[in-house]
Structure 1
């Protein structure tokens, strides 16, 4: 591992920064939330409603301290940092009743995130997609799921309920869905007719921002990242179920991607890309992490086991396709660096998701759903949340 670190001068400089500042910079540059609590996010919204989904009552969604909600305003609304699976928050932005564009735009967050990720990501001063859409005259809503890495089928039910509530509030027949990263998988479950609530024709346009349509293998491909997640205590999932720490192997199954872990939606996103893009043999424990077994620093059950734990959802969605009446739009990024910190460089992509995965649309259109746009911008995975290029692209797709 030390050889790998030394091979990246920028990484050496990055890791030389001491104390909490190191972890804050890691959070900003590597898309990791490292336990900093935030307050004051309610100022971005006109109202925030706590809603319950009756069909999800009693569903189990395990949490761990690393993936509980950290935004104190959101914790206050839920009355918990680890709310039950039948709860979600609906956020209504200023002008939700009166802005120029009548069709509501519903923002759906990705893994480890919430509705406020579209306003001021990690309280770092970004002007997010929400504010930019407000400037363009849209009636903007957003959902915060009960679990930041939740089961995508549970999130699909929460999303369906949020759409119903927005229609009640606005009197409109349809909404536009703007789904980011993992949030696009929950949306796709609903729009494919795989959720408990059947699709009801209530989505006008479906915009996918950096969604892994053919899955990811990032946690297994990037073994060093697992170690950084572990030592920082960040809101990220581990491909390891054991890690060498302080002279012994420590069981970290609770923080893992497998069935007995606390990140139930992550194994559902997995797909093998090792036949397309080579694995980095310079990374410590690269073989055992991807294929399973014990390495110098870790033990992994392997990506095949994790895919099985997730029910092979990527292939299942690919086989089903979206409902035929849906219009969908796909946006990908091709900058794989997060400022000074390199993301996944083993293939073209946004640092987390391969370009080829985001742009794979054959499965989406399998039943006749209409692909209206498929574009690429020079952004990384984080920048979908605040880039003005993204806001302009969204505006082009949503304009009546």
Structure 2
């Protein structure tokens, strides 16, 4: 934001109540924010920059993928720029066995507010149930719809991490040695937005630019290593143009991981060039 503002762009940030929340709801917030910006600045269109999960809500707005009661796209976006956005979806939470659960499951010392591919896990010999952590609705809980909405299978392209504990049952569902879950396909069937977004398409009136990071070196997490990635999102997904009618450009910044897409100077310079 500071980089763009210093170069003459009028920049506004859109925040969401829950970082894991429903992207359809958050798309409505994007539309509401644009309406306010248009009214205050006296402009007819804005440019949208969506980073990571924020790209899904931005894309949902311009594609009119919405709740039944929601605001349809108002034709008020000139350019859409995606930074590490899972345009082709991602299967990262499921593809590496139980690697992500330790940061979530409190009985294992986890504290991160994030979903799990599992509903049951053994921690220090104790088999515990936490259906509220599951990415698939389970036990009456559905706490992480925003992550489920970004899911798509990449096992046909990059396989699954066969070296990880409980890799097969994590991805395909069932009871593993230490964990149990319904698998990625059940989560996709429960409400992924990737195919609906592809089918709805980004209109040709919105010039779309896609940028990927190329450094899988995010500190503190198990990085996506099955193929070229930014540590979380595969480059193939970040640069997937399915359903995008007018692509203005694509770029990969090799020196940026998924988090660094938010402040890396080369990324900021590319975004500024596209906006200009």
Establish whether TM, by shorter chain, passes 0.5: yes
Match of 2:234 in 1: 354
Measured against aligned partners, the alpha-carbon deviations of 1:218-276 in whole angstroms (never above 9, x if no partner) come to: 11012212223323211222111111124322111112211223111111111111111
Match of 2:128 in 1: 250
In the TM superposition, what are the counterparts of 1:358-377 in structure 2 within 5 Å?
358-365=238-245, 370-377=246-253
Question: Which is helix-richer, 1 or 2?
Answer: 1
In the TM superposition, what are the counterparts of 1:1-400 in structure 2 within 5 Å?
130-195=1-66, 196-223=70-97, 224-230=99-105, 231-259=109-137, 260-310=141-191, 312-339=192-219, 343-365=223-245, 370-378=246-254, 379-399=256-276
Structure 1 residues 144 and 242, CA, compared in 2 at 3 Å: closer, same or farther?
A: same
Residue 327 of structure 1: CA displacement? 0.7
Match of 1:105 in 2: none
Deviant stretches of 4+, over 3 Å: 339-342
After superposing the two structures, state which structure 1 stretch, 230-239 or 175-184, moved more. 230-239
Residue 294 of structure 1: CA displacement? 1.1
TM-score after normalising by structure 2: 0.92
Q: In structure 2, the residue corresponding to 1:219 is in which secondary structure?
A: coil
Q: Count how many residue pairs are aligned between Structure 1 and Structure 2.
A: 265
Give the conservation status (yes or no) of the 8 Å contact 1:336–1:342. Answer: no
Give the conservation status (yes or no) of the 8 Å contact 2:65–2:196. Answer: no
Structure 2 unmatched runs, 5+: none
Residue 144 of structure 1: CA displacement? 1.1
Question: Which is strand-richer, 1 or 2?
Answer: 1
After superposing the two structures, state which structure 1 stretch, 193-202 or 267-276, moved more. 193-202
After superposing the two structures, state which structure 1 stretch, 245-254 or 356-365, moved more. 245-254
Q: In structure 1, the residue corresponding to 2:149 is in which secondary structure?
A: helix
Distance 1:138 1:255 in 2: 40
Q: In structure 2, the residue corresponding to 1:349 is in which secondary structure?
A: coil
Structure 1 unmatched runs, 5+: 1-129
Residue 342 of structure 1: CA displacement? 5.4
Distance 1:394 1:321 in 2: 22
Give the conservation status (yes or no) of the 8 Å contact 1:181–1:211. Answer: yes
After superposing the two structures, state which structure 1 stretch, 231-240 or 295-304, moved more. 231-240
Give the conservation status (yes or no) of the 8 Å contact 1:219–1:226. Answer: no
RMSD: 1.5
Residue 341 of structure 1: CA displacement? 6.1
Distance 1:176 1:194 in 2: 19
Compare relative contact order (CA 8 Å, sep 6+) and give the higher one, 1 or 2: 2
Distance 2:39 2:110 in 1: 43
After superposing the two structures, state which structure 1 stretch, 334-343 or 377-386, moved more. 334-343
Give the conservation status (yes or no) of the 8 Å contact 1:205–1:328. Answer: yes
TM-score after normalising by structure 1: 0.64
Give the conservation status (yes or no) of the 8 Å contact 1:193–1:323. Answer: no
Measured against aligned partners, the alpha-carbon deviations of 1:101-126 in whole angstroms (never above 9, x if no partner) come to: xxxxxxxxxxxxxxxxxxxxxxxxxx
